[in-house]
Structure 1
Amino acid sequence: MNTIHQTEEFKAWMRDLRDDTAKAKVITRTKQAAAGNFGDVKHFDGISEMRINYGSGYRVYYAKQGKTVYLLLIGGDKSSQDRDIKKAQKLWKSIKG
């Protein structure tokens, strides 16, 4: 079982997500990740991206050390992916020091 930590940025994104079905899918995926099943994932320099194939393609960016997963930032959808990856990498660097 993994431990999931949510950053304030992640919590804010979830609060602002208006599509209830998308929100439910994100919650389901984070629960699956806690159980060890990350599903459709793409790895970048130091972070990973959980891809949720619904609507405009939601993304959950996270970094993992051992069995602790830090959910960093939700980029929203495919259209903001490049910008969100950079934000997630910057946030992860500030968290790990």
Structure 2
Amino acid sequence: MFVRRMEQGNLGDSKPVSDGVQELRMHFAAGYRIYYGRDGDTIIILLGGGSKRKQSADIAAAKKRWAAYRKGK
């Protein structure tokens, strides 16, 4: 459901977290998050995801994936 909304440009409750990585927060259950980045007008989705409980580790992993994506361009 949230990925479909993102495809339509509805980023809901999103905020930057670090180094070009954005966080989409979902306010239900365990406080799930989707981490993504932007490359111009294109959204690169699913750098990672997780719950509020593992947020720090999930952000670190998303930052590594985003850096690898940017390096490969």
TM class by shorter-chain length? Answer: 0.7 to 0.9
- Please identify which structure carries the higher helix content: 1
1:73 corresponds to: 48
Structure 2 residue 4 is matched with structure 1 residue 31:
yes
Structure 2, unaligned runs of 5 or more? none
- Please identify which structure carries the higher strand content: 2
Deviation at 1:40, TM superposition (A): 0.4
Stretches of 4+ aligned residues off by more than 6 angstroms:
none
Deviation at 1:68, TM superposition (A): 1.4
Alpha-carbon RMSD across the aligned residues, in angstroms, is 0.9
User: Does 1 or 2 have the higher relative contact order (CA < 8 Å, sep 6+)?
Assistant: 1
2:59 corresponds to: 85
Q: Does the residue aligned with 2:64 lie in a helix, a strand or coil? A: helix
Between the two proteins, the alignment pairs up a number of residues equal to: 69
Mapping for residues 1-97 of structure 1, pairs under 5 Å: 28-45=1-18, 46-71=20-45, 72-74=47-49, 76-97=50-71
Whichever residue aligns with residue 2 of structure 2, its letter is R
Whichever residue aligns with residue 29 of structure 1, its letter is F
Structure 1, unaligned runs of 5 or more? 1-27
Question: Normalization by structure 2: what TM-score?
Answer: 0.87
Q: Percent identity?
A: 35
Partner Cα distance (1:89, 1:32) in 2: 23
